[in-house]
Amino acid sequence: MSELGKPTIAVDGLHVEYRSFASGKAASDRRALLKRQRGLRVVHALKGVSFVAHEGESIGVIGHNGSGKSTLMRTLAGLQAPSRGAVYAASRPALLGVNAALLGDLSGDKNVTLGALALGHAPSEVEGIRDEIVEFSGLGDFMDLPMKTYSSGMQARLRFSIAISRDHRILLVDEALAVGDKEFRAKSEQRIRELRDQAGTVFLVSHSMKSIRDTCTRVLWIDHGNLVMDGPTKPVVRAYLRSK
Amino acid sequence: MTNIDYGAVARDAGLPRVGARPTLPAYLRELWRRRHFATTMARFRVEASTAENRLGLAWVVLDPLLQAGVYGLIFGVIMPGSSRPQPFVPFLVTGFFIFTYFSKSFSQGAKSITGNLALVRSLAFPRMLLPLSAVLRNLYELVPMLAVLAAILIGFRQYPTWSWLLMIPIVILMTMFNVGVALVAARLTVHLRDIGQLIPVITRILFYMSGIFYSLELVLAPPKHPAWMLALAQLNPVHDFIELSRGALQEAHGVPGRLWIIAGVAAVSMLGFGIVFFWRAEERYGRE
């Protein structure tokens, strides 16, 4: 792998555990207020994942539901703390996920302002990039409605548009394109390729093998929190499809 | 991909760890750089909270005014007593408005992280902006409340004097105190959601202890009670902020100078403690 650029992300033996309240038979612990939470269950979502990503790579992440893909993305972005191991990155990765509206009771327009400010844009820049964001999202007529009234596709479009308003060196796309329509998807995939060509690193989580084949040069296959396979797109996707 | 030392790869390439808590000065610099997020969010929240009501922003003032009215009716008309100084209405309204600034900063600050998880989980920014924005929102709401208070004072022939300007340092000190309280409450609520259930109780206790519809100074007057009891009651900074405000706004209302010292020390120490306490858990917000 000598023709690759400099490393941008190194992931070293990453473990992530979730503590969550469970109910039912499996969780009928004895109640104790201070010592242990009742029904606490530990879910081991990532079990020692390691890899290095380089400049100009776009990496697909595939696996079944619940295999730990989204957890990996959240940890890469620094939004979820690892219980063991560490993530090192050249700059803070930006995550585009499918979570709910930013602030549902505020209008799309205000979400754009707040999102841009939270991303670190100066207030004087916000007015300038607002048009860009609205234009890219294609939601011009809906900007004065509360974001909670948007359909999930519309919410995803607006979030994606806000997030890519800033140039990121490392971009994590967690199924954020799955809910968009065909046109928006093509536009976003185009933007992802541009980012990659500007020596960025892009991670794409998707269940669409077509998207993965079209945009990715390398694929990580994760199963039950373990990295099963890491390599060029074609053989990994083929092995993944055969495993089903 | 067998025995690669990934930590060494990262060190060689000079890659810093993601999500590592920055040093306190770096953190505060970043906070300052993104301060517009907190101020803008506070402003939007004020607008959004009342957008669905016919009277809109008027509710910011109407709500505490109506509540003060209820207490005024009960304690001023139905059960008047010697512990309530005259004129009672400005005394009560001052106490109620200043207390509202504290109690809402406290309760909204506590919910500022747990109530904005979608935001915390999708964007990376210094989390301290959220409790800060909660307090700012209430500071914005305090401004029209103070305007209404001025109108009420004038209605009771308490005309503006230069000492009204003392409200500026009082509100600054109180804001520092409220930010400190909000930061501590926000982190504790993340660790233990049960705190959210306790906050109304704590607020209620403070409400009765802070001398809002009665005068602590009259109730605990020296001949009937030993002097240390009043001194102890005056260690409550919320009470001191209220008393200082009354002293600044009503000419006849005398306030001992040591309340300034207690209020100042409480503001500085609460803010300092709150910042360090909140920053130390920065990596943990948004988990679970």
Q: A27 CB contacts (<8 Å, ≥6 apart)?
A: A21, A38, A39, A40, A41
Ranking A114-118, A172-176, B27-31 by mean pLDDT, the lowest is A172-176
Which range marks the domain in which residue A63 is found? Answer: 57-83+92-243
pLDDT in tens, A71-109: 888 888 887 778 888 888 888 787 776 554 567 778 888
Asked if residues A63 and A221 have their Cβ atoms less than 8 Å apart, the reply is yes
In this structure, is residue A15 part of a structural domain? no
Does residue A28 carry a pLDDT above 60?
A: no
What integer pLDDT is reported at residue B53 of this predicted model? 73
Is the model more confident about B14 or about A74?
A: A74
Q: Which residues of B touch A110 (CB under 8 A)?
A: 44, 48
Per-residue pLDDT band for A157 (boundaries 50, 70, 90) equals confident
Is the model more confident about B102 or about A146?
A: B102
Phi-psi region of B150 (alpha: psi -120 to 50; beta: other; left: phi over 0): alpha
Using CB atoms, which residue from B7, B13, B116 is nearest to A6? B13
Which residue of chain A comes nearest to B120, CA vs CA?
A79
Domain containing residue A191: CATH number: 3.40.50.300
Q: Is A48 on the interface with B (CB under 8 A)?
A: no
In this structure, is residue B5 part of a structural domain? no
Which residue of chain B comes nearest to A92, CA vs CA?
B18
Ranking A134-143, A216-225, B203-212 by mean pLDDT, the lowest is A134-143
In this structure, is residue B83 part of a structural domain? yes
Q: Which residues of B touch A92 (CB under 8 A)?
A: 18, 124
Backbone angles phi, psi at A232, to 5 degrees: -60, 150
In this structure, is residue A74 part of a structural domain? yes
Mean of pLDDT over chain B: 87
Q: Do B1 and A120 touch (CB under 8 A)?
A: no
DSSP codes joined into one string, chain B: --S--HHHHHHHHTPPBTTPPPPHHHHHHHHHHTHHHHHHHHHHHHHHHHTTSTTTTHHHHHHHHHHHHHHHIIIIIIS--TTSPSSHHHHHHHHHHHHHHHHHHHHHHHTTTGGGHHHHHH--S-TTHHHHHHHHHHHHHHHHHHHHHHHHHHHTT----GGGGGHHHHHHHHHHHHHHHHHHHHHHHHH-TTHHHHHHHHHHHHHHHTTSSS-HHHHT-TTTS-HHHHHHHTT-HHHHHHHHHHHHH-TT----THHHHHHHHHHHHHHHHHHHHHHTTGGGTT--
Asked if residues B91 and B246 have their Cβ atoms less than 8 Å apart, the reply is yes
Which residue of chain A comes nearest to B45, CA vs CA?
A106
In this structure, is residue A23 part of a structural domain? no
Cβ contacts below 8 Å, chain A against chain B, sum to 121
In this structure, is residue A22 part of a structural domain? no
Mean pLDDT of B98-112: 94
Mean pLDDT of A165-186: 77
Q: Residue A129, class by beta-carbon neighbours within 10 Å (0-12 exposed, 13-18 middle, 19+ buried)? A: middle
- Percentage, residues of chain A above pLDDT 70: 86
Using CB atoms, which residue from B1, B19, B34 is nearest to A118? B34
In this structure, is residue B122 part of a structural domain? yes
In this structure, is residue A211 part of a structural domain? yes
Q: Is A220 on the interface with B (CB under 8 A)?
A: no
Per-residue pLDDT band for A164 (boundaries 50, 70, 90) equals confident
CA of A17 to nearest chain B CA: how many angstroms apart?
9
Cα distance between residue A201 and residue A219, in whole Å:
13
In this structure, is residue A145 part of a structural domain? yes
In this structure, is residue B15 part of a structural domain? no
Q: Which residues of B touch A78 (CB under 8 A)?
A: 18-19, 124
Domain count, chain A: 1
In this structure, is residue B118 part of a structural domain? yes
Q: Do A99 and B121 touch (CB under 8 A)?
A: yes
Does residue B1 carry a pLDDT above 50?
A: no
Which range marks the domain in which residue B148 is found? Answer: 21-284
Which of A12, A96, A107 is the mutation pick for testing B, counting most B CBs within 10 A? A12
Domain count, chain B: 1
